[in-house]
């Protein structure tokens, strides 16, 4: 097994690049076979990845089942993260932050993962109908019962993070962060640094846009990006201008666009962990190799400049999904 650079998440030491397991069962069109998904998970472990991230919602529970069945025999070799509040009931997505729902989801996750303990459990989204203190309280009780080891938050604002942290120390905050998505820089990154909370950057390669994977909007019929405004139509055509500049910069410094995106994320602060996801073993190996890419301050600034101002057009999410996001937005940011 390879050893990668490490960073800290609460009581855990994890690889600086983890693996988001979602797209092995969820969101990006027809998923790979369980056999191919299992091969990728095992290869990730061999490459030195020690943070695996799943959720109750992904694949309506199938992702947790895949992770548990594939990696269960290696349970002591990695940190296991999952999520609650967003869940699947009777085949439908639900958002429910009540303690009763969280308790039910925890039990379901433990069963699907084939374990009696989840290292890190996130509130997947903020249920705005339930005080975050109540939702965190349910996770505190799960921790006291030995069912989880640490508490995380996903897509939440600095103000919400502070409220949650006052109930119980938060180990990690997970939010989309990449050269083209900079919302955490408004307040969340600073709040995490102040409170000694790890920041886990999901979609660090921009859902493929920063990995040279998208040149048009001819997606699979079940691909989430068909409904994300910045990935389709005139917005995408505009955004590909900046992507072309980004790709050229990667070529100039001798790495791939995905590696430049990941190295940029890791260069931003020592409390940041990058969490890419992929279905391709070749892409997985490419992502992990980003740990060997060191960026100068000048290169980081050049990446920043490419995505300044109006470089990226279109909301992150359509309105119904944006309504579930608590993360800060920029004054001129387009919202679904």
Closest to 206 measured CA to CA, from 243, 235, 241, 172: 243
What the block records as the tokens of 133 is 């203190």
Long-range contacts (CB closer than 8 Å, 24 or more residues apart) made by 32-36? 32/279, 34/66, 36/279
CB 25 within 8 A of CB 58: yes
- Range 268-287 burial, b when 16+ CB lie within 10 A, else e: beebbbbbbbbeeeebbebb
- Range 239-254 burial, b when 16+ CB lie within 10 A, else e: beebbeebbebbeeee
Closest to 336 measured CA to CA, from 231, 216, 243: 231
Three-state helix/strand/coil letters over 182-230: CHHHCCHHHHHHHHCCEEEEECCCHHHHHHCCCCCCCCCCCEHHHHCHH
Marked catalytic residue, from 58, 122, 177, 219:
58
Three-class DSSP category at 65: helix
277 vs 186: CA distance, rounded Å: 25
What the block records as the tokens of 322 is 């944006």
Q: Determine whether 58 is an active site residue.
A: yes
Long-range contacts (CB closer than 8 Å, 24 or more residues apart) made by 240-246? 240/214, 240/215, 241/311, 242/180, 242/306, 242/307, 242/311, 242/312, 243/209, 243/210, 243/214, 245/306, 246/179, 246/210, 246/303, 246/306, 246/307
68 vs 52: CA distance, rounded Å: 11
Active site residues: 58
């Amino acid at each position: 097994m390879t050893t990668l650079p490490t960073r800290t998440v609460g009581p855990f030491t994890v690889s600086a690049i983890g693996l988001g397991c979602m797209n092995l069962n969820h969101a990006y069109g027809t998923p790979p076979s369980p056999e191919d998904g299992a091969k990728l998970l095992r290869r990730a472990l061999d490459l030195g990845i020690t943070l695996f991230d799943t959720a109750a919602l992904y694949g309506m529970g199938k992702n947790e089942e895949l992770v548990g069945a594939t990696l269960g025999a290696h349970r002591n070799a990695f940190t296991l993260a999952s999520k609650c509040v967003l869940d699947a009931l009777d085949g439908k997505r639900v958002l429910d932050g009540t303690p009763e729902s969280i308790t039910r989801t925890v039990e379901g996750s433990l069963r699907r993962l084939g374990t009696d303990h989840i290292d890190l459990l996130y509130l997947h989204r903020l249920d705005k109908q339930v005080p975050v203190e109540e939702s965190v309280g349910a996770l505190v009780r799960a921790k006291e019962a030995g069912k989880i080891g640490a508490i995380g938050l996903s897509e939440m604002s600095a103000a919400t993070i502070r409220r949650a942290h006052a109930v119980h120390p938060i180990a990690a905050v997970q939010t989309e962060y990449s050269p083209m998505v900079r919302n955490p820089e408004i307040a969340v990154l600073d709040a995490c640094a102040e409170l000694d909370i790890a920041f886990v950057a999901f979609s660090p390669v921009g859902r493929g846009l920063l990995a040279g994977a998208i040149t048009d909007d001819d997606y699979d019929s079940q691909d989430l990006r068909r409904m994300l405004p910045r990935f389709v139509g005139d917005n995408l055509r505009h955004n590909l201008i900046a992507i072309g500049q980004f790709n050229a910069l990667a070529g100039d410094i001798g790495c791939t666009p995905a590696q430049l995106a990941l190295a940029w994320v890791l260069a931003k602060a020592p409390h940041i962990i990058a969490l890419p996801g992929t279905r391709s073993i070749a892409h997985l190996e490419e992502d992990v190799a980003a740990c060997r890419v060191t960026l100068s301050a000048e290169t980081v600034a050049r990446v920043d400049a490419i995505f300044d101002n109006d470089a990226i057009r279109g909301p992150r999410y359509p309105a119904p999904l944006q309504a579930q996001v608590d993360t800060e937005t920029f004054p001129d940011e387009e919202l679904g």
